[in-house]
Structure 1
């Protein structure tokens, strides 16, 4: 199982996301379930190394946001057109009692 460390982010928008990417981080969002969407930041290099492993996109991931664990699956990943960079990730909250569509 994969575990990703994340922090909540307050700044949003194109400029903020660009600054994060320049600093080696990935802007991301967690949504789904009965909770509001939450903007987060994760480390690029750690995530890049994980995504090269088999099963990363098919498994339930433990996303630790400011110390609180969330079970998520990857809904969408946006890659840079020609650089080996991830631009954005959408995570979907996973609950054992609901069906994934």
Structure 2
């Protein structure tokens, strides 16, 4: 069992794209995606403060992370993280199923 558990909401197809992602970031949320394995990719939204707190620990980049999306729990590892060039806050995260 991992030490990191993140809560997420699934995003609808109509709530994806550059404009929708900007609106999420202004609302202190981070767009992300979970992909890999046999299941289809899932677009999700994470709380900014929850993700920043997890990123403070270096083990977050090495261990398996649990992401709760509604009733399902995904075991993932972080694949890529995009940060704002000046503020260094997360802008987008990619997670790969473990």
Alpha-carbon deviations, 1:26-69, whole Å to 9, x = none?
00000000111110000001110110113010000001001211
Which runs of 5 or more structure 2 residues have no equivalent in the other structure? none
Aligned length in residues: 94
The TM-score with structure 1 as length reference comes to: 0.90
TM-score (norm 2): 0.93
**Counterpart in 2 of 1:7?**
9
Q: CA RMSD in A?
A: 0.7
Give unmatched runs, 5+ long, in structure 1. Answer: 95-101
- SS of equivalent residue, structure 1 residue 76: strand
Deviations 1:81-101 (CA, angstroms, capped at 9, x unpaired): 01131000000011xxxxxxx
Give the number of the structure whose residues are more often helix, by fraction. 2
